[in-house]
C-alpha cells in the first residue's frame, strides 16, 4: 500500500466523521478518555494480579454461582489482560471488575513500557509471563485479552512462538491484524511494524498449520486508529477466528463498552465452543 492509499483511507474516514453515529461514538470516547486519564497514573506502578479462589458458593452472586457450578474449569482458567501502546493496565479497570463479578477467579495484567520498539521481543516477554502464571496457578492454559497493540503481541506469541500450547482463547480489541494506514503517519520503529506492508505483517501472514488457539477479534466501525476499520479483523486460513463487529464504539472505548465486556465474558465462559467466521 502506498502513502496515497493511506491518505485515501483517511479521506474516507473524514467523509463519515460527521455522521450521527460517529459523533455519538466520539462523545462516549471523549468521556472514557477523560476518565482513563485520571486513572492512568495508578497504572504506572506496574501490573496487577487479582485472585478470588473459592472453596464454597457462600456470598456469590447468581452470575458467579452459575459459572462456578456450570463450568468450574472455565471459572478457574487464568485470564491475562494486555494493554495497548502508550497505555497501562488501568484501561481494563471496568472489564476486570466485571469479569470478577461474572465468577472468573484469576485475572492478571501484562504491562510493557511505552518505549517498546519491537513486537517480537515483547511477545517473548509475554510468553515468559504466561509460563510464570501457569506454573503458579497449576493451570495448563489461560486466556489472553489484548487491546490494540496488546492483541497483536498476543497473536504473535500464539502464532509464531508456540503459544497455542498455552493460550486457549485470544481475544483482541481494535487490533491492527492486517496493519493500519494510520501507521504511515509516524516514523517510530514500533509504529512502522503496524504498517500493512511491514515485515511483521508479512510474517503473520505466513502459514500457521495446527495452531490450536481460538481467536475472537472485536473490530469497530468507527475506530479512529485502524484505517480502514476492517483491518482489525483476522484473515488467515490456518487460524480458528471469529470476527465480531461493534457499532459506534471508539478505539479507546472498546475495553470499557458494556456489550463488549459482556460478550467477552460469554466467550470465556464456554471453553469448548469453537465458532469461526470466514
Of residues 130, 215, 213, 203, the one with CA closest to residue 168: 213
The better pLDDT of the pair 159, 48 is held by 159
- HSE of 253 in the Cβ direction (CA atoms, 13 Å)? 24
pTM, two decimals, is 0.81
Which DSSP string corresponds to the chain? --HHHHHHHHHHHHHTTTSHHHHHHHHHHHHHHHHHHHHGGGGGG---EEE---SS-TT--HHHHHHHHH-HHHHHS-EEEE--TT--GGGGHHHHHHHHHHT--EEEEE---TT---HHHHHHHHHHHHHHHHHHH--S-EEEEEETHHHHHHHHHHHHSSGGGTEEEEEEES--TT--GGGGG---HHHHTTSTTSHHHHHHTS--TT---EEEEEEETT-SSSSSGGGGS---TTSEEEEEEESS--TTTGGG-HHHHHHHHHHHT-TT------
Relative to beta strand 106-110, strand 49-51 is antiparallel
The span from the CA of 256 to the CA of 32, in Å, is 8
Domain spans in the chain, listed from the N-terminal domain onward: 3-268
Does the structure show a pLDDT above 90 at 249? yes
Q: What is the mean pLDDT of residues 114-129?
A: 95
Q: Provide the pLDDT for residue 70.
A: 46
Of residues 46, 9, 60, 66, the one with CA closest to residue 223: 9
CATH superfamily entry for domain 3-268: Alpha/Beta hydrolase fold, catalytic domain (3.40.50.1820)
Q: What is the mean pLDDT of residues 199-212?
A: 98
Q: What is the mean pLDDT of residues 52-73?
A: 52
Confidence of residue 75 (pLDDT cuts 50, 70, 90): confident
Confidence of residue 59 (pLDDT cuts 50, 70, 90): low
Cβ–Cβ under 8 Å, residues 163 and 127 = yes
Of residues 269, 196, 172, the one with CA closest to residue 6: 196
The span from the CA of 106 to the CA of 36, in Å, is 23
User: How many other CB atoms are found less than 10 A from the CB of residue 155?
Assistant: 29
Strand partners, 49: 108
Look over the chain and give the mean of its residue pLDDT values, rounded to a whole number.
83
What is the grid cell recorded at 161?
A: 512462538
Does the structure show a pLDDT above 80 at 204? yes
Does the structure show a pLDDT above 90 at 140? yes
Q: Provide the pLDDT for residue 76.
A: 87
Q: Provide the pLDDT for residue 114.
A: 82
Q: Provide the pLDDT for residue 74.
A: 81
Q: Provide the pLDDT for residue 57.
A: 47
Cβ–Cβ under 8 Å, residues 203 and 152 = no
Q: What is the mean pLDDT of residues 151-165?
A: 98
Amino acid at each position: 500500500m502506498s502513502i496515497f492509499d493511506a491518505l485515501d483511507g483517511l479521506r474516507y474516514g473524514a467523509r463519515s466523521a460527521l455522521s450521527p453515529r460517529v459523533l455519538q461514538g466520539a462523545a462516549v470516547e471523549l468521556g472514557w478518555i477523560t476518565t482513563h486519564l485520571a486513572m492512568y497514573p495508578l497504572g504506572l506502578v506496574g501490573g496487577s494480579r487479582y485472585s478470588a479462589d473459592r472453596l464454597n458458593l457462600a456470598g456469590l452472586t447468581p452470575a458467579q454461582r452459575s459459572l462456578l457450578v456450570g463450568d468450574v474449569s472455565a471459572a478457574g482458567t487464568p485470564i491475562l489482560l494486555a494493554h495497548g501502546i502508550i497505555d497501562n493496565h488501568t484501561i481494563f479497570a471496568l472489564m476486570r471488575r466485571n469479569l470478577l463479578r461474572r465468577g472468573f477467579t484469576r485475572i492478571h495484567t501484562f504491562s510493557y513500557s511505552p518505549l517498546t520498539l519491537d513486537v517480537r521481543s515483547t511477545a517473548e516477554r509475554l510468553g515468559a509471563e504466561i509460563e510464570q502464571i501457569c506454573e503458579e496457578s497449576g493451570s495448563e492454559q489461560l486466556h489472553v485479552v489484548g487491546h490494540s497493540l496488546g492483541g497483536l503481541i498476543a497473536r504473535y506469541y500464539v502464532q509464531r512462538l508456540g503459544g497455542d500450547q498455552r493460550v486457549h482463547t485470544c481475544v483482541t480489541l481494535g487490533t491492527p491484524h492486517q496493519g493500519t494506514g494510520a501507521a504511515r503517519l509516524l516514523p517510530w520503529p514500533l509504529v512502522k511494524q503496524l504498517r500493512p506492508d511491514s515485515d511483521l505483517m508479512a510474517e503473520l501472514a505466513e502459514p500457521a498449520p495446527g495452531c490450536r488457539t481460538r481467536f475472537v477479534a472485536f473490530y469497530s466501525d468507527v475506530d479512529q486508529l485502524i484505517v480502514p476499520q476492517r483491518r482489525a479483523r483476522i484473515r488467515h486460513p490456518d487460524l480458528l477466528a471469529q470476527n465480531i463487529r461493534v457499532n459506534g464504539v471508539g478505539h479507546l472505548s472498546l475495553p470499557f463498552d458494556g456489550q463488549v465486556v459482556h460478550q467477552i465474558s460469554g466467550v470465556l465462559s464456554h471453553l469448548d465452543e469453537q465458532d469461526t467466521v470466514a
